């Protein structure tokens, strides 16, 4: 009996220890997901940032990082970065001077920041990013749509879908929220020139310019006389800055101060009777004078028809444009420059937001079609680098969901076995305590209660 009780006690202790280990393992930061996943192609790119020799990309609500073996080109492989649990990543930005990466949550009003190791964002199980949560507001539900960083002023501008624009100052140990512009429409894009009092934000219908480094904002639609469709900013080595705005029907405009704007459409082939619409703008961060643009023509008044036009490049700050591809079949809605490689650019389209490891050497229209991805398609139509070797787009399946780490899984298995053993021991003990029937002589059945006879 004592041996059985000791066994039950031991099994109970094992069960409690295994359950405790599993719970603690599941609660540890970063252990709720599987080991970092590596892919060779990204299929649903929403944002990107360059910094510290790395390229950071938001793809399908996750953050990926990679380093290219060839300078200027995108990495051939991407590693998933561990982010806070339940956070859907919607935006990313880098403060390269201080080595800080910022991500915006698409499913909450908050951003997160983490120090970037010299080799890039830590992805190993023993060196996870130490994310610090920075809440924006608790009064409105929504998420972050874009982030822009001014590393000189230590300012971070955050665009949201339901709460307008936020201005935060990074003071090192924390971030201070000191300005907000309330808007009744989502912020689509924010850009900021480092060290200059020049920051712009656009919604679907309006353009806003920052004053006093974002302490206040003014609407400047009247200055561009159109609807903004794309933004980009270039910062030269001597402190000169230029902001570019793409419009719905006036092509490209540029400014050095946000007040005086000039048209910059030479070489974009404006067709009489049509409206030149800009779909995307991008600046090479290593060559501020190199700018890329994708355009379409709009026809009609009551019913507007869009005809994709071209992807073009300027090497003189949009003074003149040189077509890179004029036979577009679909509109290019985002451009990713190959840093330092003049004329090499990656393109995301209305049918695809996929990104391969290097730009294709063929024309956009000749790119092979692939199966669409849920959301906005999934085939790549990208690249313009004449003479470059053609590279086929390859991909690996990106795992979805989360898996328990092996330590937690083993703990729960042990807990299950211990629970079965405990149940078996308890049942056996209870059965052993049941009273046994009283028997007569050996081999005879139970004693019968003989009736009492009165022989008198």
* 3-class DSSP assignment, residue 403: coil
Q: Please give the distance of CA 451 from its chain centroid, rounded to a whole number.
A: 90
Q: What is the pLDDT of residues 324-350, one digit of tens each?
A: 998 888 999 999 998 888 988 998 988
Question: For residue 278, what pLDDT is reported?
Answer: 97
State how far the Cα of 302 lies from the Cα of 282, in Å rounded to an integer.
31
Core vs surface per residue 127-141: b (16+ CB within 10 A) or e: ebbebeebebbeeee
Its pTM stands at: 0.72
State how far the Cα of 44 lies from the Cα of 196, in Å rounded to an integer.
33
Question: For residue 182, what pLDDT is reported?
Answer: 94
Q: What is the pLDDT of residues 183-209, one digit of tens each?
A: 999 999 999 999 889 999 999 999 999
Question: For residue 271, what pLDDT is reported?
Answer: 74
- 24-28, 50-54, 125-129, 376-380: the lowest-pLDDT one: 376-380
∠ CA 121-125-128, rounded to 5°: 35
Question: For residue 146, what pLDDT is reported?
Answer: 97
Instruction: Tell me the percentage of the chain whose pLDDT exceeds 90.
Output: 48
Question: For residue 307, what pLDDT is reported?
Answer: 92
For residues 91 and 144, is the Cβ–Cβ distance under 8 A? Answer: yes
The rounded mean pLDDT for the chain is 79
**C-alpha dist (Å) from residue 381 to 77, 258, 329, 335:** 19, 34, 9, 11
Question: For residue 37, what pLDDT is reported?
Answer: 81
Question: For residue 7, what pLDDT is reported?
Answer: 65
**pLDDT tier at 117 (50, 70, 90 boundaries)?**
low
Phi (first) and psi of residue 16, to 5 degrees: -65, -45
DSSP state, residue 88: -
For residues 261 and 255, is the Cβ–Cβ distance under 8 A? Answer: yes
Question: For residue 401, what pLDDT is reported?
Answer: 38
Question: For residue 424, what pLDDT is reported?
Answer: 72
**pLDDT tier at 68 (50, 70, 90 boundaries)?**
confident
Q: What is the pLDDT of residues 76-87, one digit of tens each?
A: 889 999 999 999
Give the residue, 323 or 119, on which the prediction is more confident. Answer: 323
Strands, DSSP E only, in 98-223? 100-105, 110-115, 132-135, 144-150, 155-160, 165-170, 175-181, 189-192, 199-202, 207-211, 216-219
Closest CA to 44 of 368, 355, 381: 355
Q: What is the pLDDT of residues 248-264, one digit of tens each?
A: 999 999 999 999 999 99
Q: What is the pLDDT of residues 23-37, one digit of tens each?
A: 565 555 444 444 568
Which positions ≥6 away from 293 have C-beta within 8 Å? 230, 246, 252, 268, 278, 280, 281, 282, 311, 312, 313, 314, 318, 321, 335
Q: Which of 158-167, 270-279, 369-378, 413-422 has the highest mean pLDDT?
A: 158-167
For residues 160 and 209, is the Cβ–Cβ distance under 8 A? Answer: no
State how far the Cα of 324 lies from the Cα of 160, in Å rounded to an integer.
34
Instruction: Tell me the percentage of the chain whose pLDDT exceeds 70.
Output: 69
Looking at the DSSP bridge assignments, the partners of residue 166 are 158, 180
- 89-98, 265-274, 389-398: the lowest-pLDDT one: 389-398
**pLDDT tier at 351 (50, 70, 90 boundaries)?**
confident
């Amino acid at each position: 009996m004592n041996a059985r009780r000791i066994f039950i006690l031991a099994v109970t202790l094992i069960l409690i220890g295994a359950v405790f280990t599993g719970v603690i393992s599941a609660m540890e930061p970063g252990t709720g997901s599987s080991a970092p996943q590596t892919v060779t192609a990204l299929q649903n790119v929403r944002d990107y940032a360059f910094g510290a020799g790395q390229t950071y990309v938001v793809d399908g609500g996750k953050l990926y990082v990679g380093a290219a073996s060839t300078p200027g080109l995108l990495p051939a492989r991407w590693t998933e970065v561990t982010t806070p649990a339940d956070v859907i990543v919607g935006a990313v930005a880098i403060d390269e001077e201080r080595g800080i990466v910022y991500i915006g949550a698409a499913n909450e009003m908050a951003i997160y920041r983490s120090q970037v190791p010299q080799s890039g964002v830590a992805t190993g199980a023993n060196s996870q990013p130490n994310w610090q949560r920075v809440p924006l507001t608790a009064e409105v539900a929504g998420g972050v749509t874009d982030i822009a960083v001014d590393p000189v002023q230590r300012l971070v501008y955050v665009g949201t879908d339901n709460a307008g624009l936020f201005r935060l100052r990074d003071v090192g140990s924390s971030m201070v929220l000191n300005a907000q512009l309330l808007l009744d429409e989502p912020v689509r894009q924010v850009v900021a020139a480092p060290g200059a009092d020049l920051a712009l934000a656009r919604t679907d219908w309006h353009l806003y310019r920052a004053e006093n480094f974002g302490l206040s904002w003014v609407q400047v639609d009247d200055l561009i006389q159109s609807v903004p469709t794309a933004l980009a900013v270039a910062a030269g080595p001597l402190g000169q800055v230029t902001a570019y705005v793409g419009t719905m029907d006036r092509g490209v405009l540029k400014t050095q101060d946000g007040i005086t704007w000039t048209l910059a459409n030479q070489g974009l082939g404006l067709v009489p009777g049509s409206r030149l619409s800009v779909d995307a703008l991008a600046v090479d961060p290593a060559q501020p004078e190199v700018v890329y643009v994708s355009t379409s023509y709009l026809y009609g008044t009551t019913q507007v028809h869009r005809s994709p036009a071209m992807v073009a490049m300027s090497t003189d700050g949009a003074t003149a444009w040189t077509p890179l591809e004029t036979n577009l079949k679909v509109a290019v809605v985002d451009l990713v420059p190959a840093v330092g490689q003049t004329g090499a650019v990656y393109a995301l389209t209305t049918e695809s937001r996929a990104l391969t490891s290097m730009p294709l050497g063929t024309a956009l229209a000749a790119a092979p079609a692939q199966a669409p991805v849920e959301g906005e398609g999934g085939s790549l139509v990208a690249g313009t680098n004449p003479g470059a070797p053609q590279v086929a787009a390859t991909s690996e399946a990106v795992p979805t969901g989360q898996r328990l780490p092996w330590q937690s899984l083993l703990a729960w298995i042990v807990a299950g076995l211990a629970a079965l053993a405990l149940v078996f021991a308890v049942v056996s003990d209870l059965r052993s305590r049941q009273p046994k029937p009283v028997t007569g002589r050996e081999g005879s059945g139970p004693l019968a209660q003989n009736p009492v006879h009165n022989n008198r």
